Structure 1
Amino acid sequence: MEFETSPYALQDTLECSDPTIPTDESNLVIKALNLYRRKTLQSMYFKVKLHKRVPHGAGLGGGSGNAATTLFAANKLLGGIASNEDLLEWSGEIGSDISVFFSNTGAAYCTGRGEVVEDVTPPVTLDTPMLLVKPPVGLATPKIFKSLDLGRRSTADPRGLLDTIAAARGVDQDAAVNDLEQPAFDNLPELAALKQRLIESGQYRSVFMTGSGSTIVCFGSDAVPDFLREPLYKDLFISPARLITRKPNGWYEHSGLWKEPL
């Protein structure tokens, strides 16, 4: 993302590399700028260029990350009027998944709607290889939550799962719990089939859906199994990935540990 102030503008300008992404008031980037001005009583408008790499509807927090980056950048450009704690608190007003990006370490245990953020030590090593696999269809978060069967939720304690992952220094399959897999797989059975094939490939320590979908995370390796080269999967988004954190008062930077998507 690129940012610059527009002292003489009467509105913000957002340019996006993905023409399917709206650039009006419905975009979280514009919502973040409006929020920042309202909270700080500033009148500055901005020009933003967004090179969209995280697919829309992937469950990877791409839009939320864009919003958090926008709040951080606007604050930086205007002299750091707000504290990190301010930005964390305000961000919950426009989205439940934005606040986590303002954790002081970049790793957090989140409760409530996601806006209650507790800093934690990263439970796995940041250079752990992972592969992201997303089918060409997305899943609407509201629909997924409406389809959640509360009676089929995991009984595992989330804090206990975090402790288990930290102790194992990685995510084993039994600890890869996401209650939203049930409604996602009910709505998109082929996603469940894709997960199972990835597990059966035997190449990963664990395989699980991220967020409300529809991305499947393969933990422990970024090798691409041969079956993903079949015509059935020709439209998949496939990319290696690594985890990143941030230093206090800084922002997230590319790890440099992954290669360009296939």
Structure 2
Amino acid sequence: MLPSRLRLLQIALIVLVAFQHSLPVHGFAPSHQHPTRTHSLSAESNTEAIPTELNLFSPCKINLFLRILRKRPDNFHDLASLFQAVGFGDTLHLSLAPSDADADEFTCNMEGVPVDSTNLVLRALELMRQRTGKEVYFQADLVKRVPAQAGLGGGSANAATAMWGANELMGRPAGLEELIEWSAELGSDITFFLSRGTAYCTGRGEIMTPIDPPLPAGSKLSIVKPDLGLSTPKVFSALDYDQLSKEDPEMLLNTFLKEGVVNTDDKYYINDLEQPAFDCLPELKALKEELLEVKGFDHVMMSGSGTSIFCIGEPEDKEGFMREFDDREGISVFNAEFISREQGCWFKSP
């Protein structure tokens, strides 16, 4: 009888241990363990400690095509555009402020960039507090390289980067879908930078259809930026609606995705804002015509509302190209490539 009783006790202990280990971690956890926290930004469980500071790359974008469809009753315009992230951008240093802080601290290296509440980085941080209900403040230092009024979405990228970073430092209270929804409150292009790097954007630019997988990373390009600025309102005010392209944007999108960036015919590289921008700045049109003569570039077009012109490919004579354009007074050249980000991670500088 004694062996039988011992055997029963052994079985009972085995069942008890098995029962404890089978309980879901969010339903029960011993006091010395922490529940595993899953998050929609990543398919994997996140057991890492919440960071207190981040250094984040803030990429810029180009518009592989940009169609202006119509003027809306609110005086904005409906557009359709294929956006692509590129590996030229800024760096945002973001950290938690001391626990007794009651305001964000913000600095920027570029002269002329506002450091008050009008800056999109500070507006993004405030939006995150409002939407999450977390009274957390930050110290932010923005190291800018992307020039203003370039058509590259530098400020929009800064805002999206700040939202992502704040969410990480807060412990990820928001999912990616929420960040995308909230970002539309700050501006038209911000939503794009929460994609993986390629997206078809409509509405004012805030309605994003991600392209997954994104266009292949690594495609080379040069961004040529004259020291000339054009505000987006000024460009739109010069828009001649009779000169808008008639091409169906869905057809343009399908062509780019089917043929690829290099093999897509030049006639599909359409930017409806080139006409008003070139009317405002004829020297910008002259610069594009010069770049079209450079051997090695597959496609040349202005990005967004200007004034940057991107050149897909690589010049045959790289040194000669840089001497001719980057060394010229009043012009800067930034060599870059297409980039994308991994699911659940932020963009990395190539």
TM-score by length of 2: 0.69
* Alignment deviations for residues 40-88 of structure 1 (CA, whole Å, 9 cap, x no partner): 1121111001110111111111110000000000000001011111111
With over 3 angstroms needed to count, the CA separation of the structure-2 counterparts of 1:79 and 1:227, relative to structure 1, is closer
Preserved CA contact (<8 Å) 1:123 1:165: no
Segments of structure 1 that go 5 or more residues without pairing to the other structure are 256-262
Task: Specify whether residues 122 and 139 from structure 1 end up closer, same or farther in structure 2 by C-alpha distance, changes over 3 A only.
Answer: farther
Give the Å deviation of 1:226: 4.1
Q: Assess if the C-alpha contact under 8 Å between 2:326 and 2:332 holds in 1.
A: no
Q: Structure 1 residue aligned with 2:122, among 13, 26, 30?
A: 30
Say which of 119, 126, 129 aligns to 2:210. 119
| Residue in 2 that maps onto 1:52 | 144
Does the CA-based 8 Å contact 2:300-2:312 persist in structure 1? Answer: yes
- Contact 2:326 2:333 survives alignment (8 Å): no
State the match for 1:152 in structure 2: 243
| Structure 2, gaps ≥5 residues long | 1-91
Q: Is the 8 A contact 1:204 1:219 kept in 2?
A: yes
Please report how far the alpha carbon of residue 224 of structure 1 lies from its aligned counterpart in structure 2 after TM superposition.
6.1
Q: CA deviation at 1:221?
A: 1.4
Which residue is equivalent to 1:259? none
Matching residue's letter, 1:34 = E
Cα distance in 2 between the residues matched to 1:100 and 1:167? 21
**Structure label with greater radius of gyration:** 2
CA contact (8 A) 2:214 2:340 kept: no
Q: 1:205 is aligned with what amino acid?
A: D
Report the Cα offset of residue 166 of structure 1.
2.2
Partner of 2:48: none
CA distance in 2, matches of 1:3, 1:227: 34
Once residues 49 and 126 of structure 1 are traced to their aligned partners in structure 2, the CA distance between those partners, rounded to angstroms, is 28
Matches within 5 A, 1:70-109: 70-103=162-195, 105-109=196-200
Quote the residue 2:103 is aligned against: 11
- Mean alpha-carbon deviation: is it higher for 114-123 or for 144-153? 114-123
1:258 maps to none
Shift of 1:227: 8.4
Letter of the aligned partner of 2:340 in structure 1? T
Mark the CA change 1:100 to 1:32 in structure 2 (over 3 Å): closer, same or farther: same
Aligned length: 254
Partner SS for 1:205:
strand
Of 149-158 and 207-216, more deviation after overlay is shown by: 149-158
Find the partner of 2:295 among 202, 213, 237. 202
1:177 and 2:270 are equivalent in the alignment:
yes
- 71-80 vs 226-235, greater mean Cα deviation: 226-235
Please identify, of 148-157 and 212-221, the stretch whose mean Cα deviation from structure 2 is larger. 148-157
Q: Aligned partners of 1:121, 1:224: CA distance in 2, in Å? A: 36
Which of 215, 230, 240 is matched with 2:335 structurally?
240
Higher relative contact order (CA 8 A, sep 6+): 2
- Alignment deviations for residues 120-159 of structure 1 (CA, whole Å, 9 cap, x no partner): 1466432111000000011101111222111111111122
SS in 1 for 2:297: coil
- Closer/same/farther in 2, CA of residues 226 and 115 from structure 1, 3 Å limit: closer
CA-based RMSD of the aligned residues comes to 1.9
Which AA in structure 2 matches 1:45?
A: Y
**Distance in 2, Cα, partners of 1:202 & 1:230:** 14
Contact 1:128 1:221 in 2 (8 A): no
Matches of 1:229 and 1:108, distance apart in 2: 34
Query: Distance between the aligned counterparts of 1:242 and 1:174, measured in 2?
Result: 22
2:325–2:331: 8 Å Cα contact kept in structure 1?
Answer: no
Q: Distance in 2 between matches of 1:231 and 1:240?
A: 10
Q: 1:135-150 residue pairs with structure 2 within 5 A?
A: 135-150=226-241
Q: 2-side partners of 1:81 and 1:234: how far apart?
A: 48
Relative to 1, partners in 2 of residues 1:125 and 1:247: Cα closer, same or farther, differing over 3 Å? closer
Q: Is the alpha carbon distance of 1:80 and 1:159 closer, same or farther for their aligned partners in structure 2, counting shifts above 3 Å? A: same
